[in-house]
Amino acid sequence: MKKFLLVFFLTFTAAFTPIAAKVAVAAISPLSLAFLRFGVATLLLLTVFLIKKNNFRIEKKDYKLFLFLGALVIPINQICFLEGVKLSAASHSGILYASTPLIIYLISVKLKNEIFSLRKLLFISLTIAGIAVIFYENITAVKTSGFGILTGDILLFLAVASWSVYLAFSSNMVAKYGALKTQTLTFLIGILMYIPVFLFDVKYLTFERVDGYVILSYLHLTFLVAFGSYFLYSYSTKIIKTSTLTTLTNMSPVITILFSWLLLKENLSYFFIMGAAITMTGVFLTQRIKDEPSGKSVKENLQLNED
């Protein structure tokens, strides 16, 4: 029962993240929202970090990597994600983020953390084909609907790419320093880098349109996702196999699509439904392939969840 409740909670947390973001950015400037969201999450992580009496010492050779990870996880990822979801649709974000494990796999093969598999590559190609169908519709619709949705989807894809690169490159740091220390340091570096962006955007920050739904969305994005994901995902991997957990939580994009339609009244075109079905099939088939033994894989090292 405990495992079921945990998987249920993780699945719905991931599923409602794009929807919560869509609601929040309608009332709060995306660039300021990113700072308010991760500023609080960083303070909470830092508090736990200090309570556990951890230290900030890292090897000098890892300095540049941590700067790179900090830039990826907050400034780059959050600008692309929140600006993208404002221009595009929550359902599009859900589908694009479903491809995160596949991008991580490709990077991991390049880093020699995973063994190349032709079957996986074929299934990944299927996923890319599904995303291409979604993009094709938006490209052909530019004349009638403008560049808004297409630009949003491009930003969302860049958000997925930056998040995937962050997870892939942080895996060795997680193995070396632990998940809490790695995430705290990267968040701290990232939020410090983000201060100039916030100062530039703060003139657009207003709370006039904030209501109960926006507050709930902010709490979801900040406490359940940005901060809570570390504890939830770390705990879940201790009692549930990572492969099982990943497969079960693959339902989250489907839930995102359903509730985006029900709550946000988003239009689900035939092109989008077809592209989403192809993408999810590729994701499902890829993760059905058992990993070949190759030391500690990226999946075993990662203790972090998606945005």
* Cβ atoms of 77 and 162 closer than 8 Å: yes
Q: Is residue 154 part of a domain?
A: yes
User: Beta-carbon neighbour count of residue 52 at 10 Å?
Assistant: 11
Tokens 């059905």 correspond to 288
User: Taking phi first (over 0 means left), then psi (-120 to 50 degrees means alpha), and beta for anything else, what does residue 214 get?
Assistant: alpha
Range of the domain at 250: 2-301
- Structurally, how many domains does the chain consist of? 1
161-189 burial, b if ≥16 CB within 10 A, otherwise e? Answer: bbbbbbbbbbbbbbbebebbbbbbbbbbb
Q: Is residue 306 part of a domain?
A: no
> Nearest Cα to 154, choosing from 92, 72, 100, 199?
92
Q: Is residue 307 part of a domain?
A: no
Per-residue pLDDT of the chain (307 residues; tens, 9 = 90+): 667 777 777 788 888 999 999 999 999 999 999 999 999 999 999 999 999 988 999 999 999 999 999 999 999 999 999 999 999 889 888 888 777 777 777 787 777 767 777 777 787 778 778 888 877 776 766 655 556 788 898 999 999 899 888 888 888 898 899 888 998 999 999 999 999 999 999 999 999 999 999 999 999 999 999 888 766 655 665 566 555 555 556 678 888 888 898 888 888 888 888 888 888 888 777 766 665 444 444 444 444 444 5
Q: Is residue 164 part of a domain?
A: yes
Instruction: Give the pLDDT confidence score for residue 277 in this predicted structure.
Output: 86
Q: Is residue 68 part of a domain?
A: yes
Q: Is residue 64 part of a domain?
A: yes
Q: Is residue 202 part of a domain?
A: yes
Q: In the 8-state DSSP scheme, what is residue 291?
A: P
